[in-house]
Structures are given as C-alpha cells and as structure tokens.
Amino acid sequence: MDFHAQIKAALAEAKIDDVTFDSIFLGAKEMTGVPPDTSDIDRAMMVVQELLRRDFTPVNNGLDQVWGAPWEETTETEIIARIRREFSQLTEEPSFIDICWFKAPPDVE
C-alpha cells in the first residue's frame, strides 16, 4: 500500500475505534513509494504526522496512565519525540497496547 492507502486505512479504523499505534506501524512497514532505506519507525511517523495534521489526538494506552486521556504533549514535535522515545524502549514490535492510540476528531470521514 502507498502512503495515501495507509491514511485511508487509518481513517477507516477511526470510524470503528481509536487507531492503534501498532496498526499504523505494521501498515507503514509495508508502505510503498518511499525510499527502501527508510526505517520502519520513519515510515510510521509519516502516517502519524498526517493524522496529527487531520486533528487526531494521541491518548494514553492505560498501562501506566489513565486510559484514553489525551497526552500532555500537544505539538507535533513533542508527540513525535515521545513516540520515538517510547518506541526505542520496546524490545519487540509494538502490540495494540504499546505507546498510544489516536482518537479521531468528531468529523472524521
């Protein structure tokens, strides 16, 4: 799938539930149309950045925080830095509970 198809998949997921970071990561791993030496996390960040531009909000996963509460980080730079930091601490690929979920704005289409 190319970048636009990844965004469409995330938007479709958002109509059902919050978008999990692992679904973004797994989809981005297979993303076409990017240089082959682009890391998996960089691919995922491309999708995350687009979701943030569309007013998606990262929310807590409930592991160490209140489930579903918006992150304290609010700027794109802060959010990307936190995701990268938490991703670097994982010992395996993220699962649905890892890092965060993204809540769609009310008008997601």
Is there a domain that residue 20 lies in?
yes
Most confident of 15-19, 36-40, 46-50, 72-76: 46-50
Residue 42: how many CA atoms within 13 Å on its side-chain side? 6
List, for residues 48-70, the tens digit of each pLDDT value: 999 999 999 999 876 666 777 88
Closest listed residue to residue 31, CA positions, set 48, 14, 16: 48
Structural domain range at position 43:
3-103
pLDDT of residue 60: 86
The one-letter amino acid at 35: P
Is there a domain that residue 81 lies in?
yes
Is there a domain that residue 108 lies in?
no
pLDDT of residue 99: 93
Is there a domain that residue 44 lies in?
yes
Is there a domain that residue 109 lies in?
no
Number of domains making up the chain: 1
Kind and range of the H or E run holding 20: strand 19-20
pLDDT of residue 23: 95
pLDDT of residue 63: 65
Angle between helices 40-53 and 21-29 (to 10 degrees): 120
pLDDT of residue 65: 67
**Residue 44 structure tokens:** 């995922």
pLDDT of residue 86: 94
pLDDT of residue 109: 65
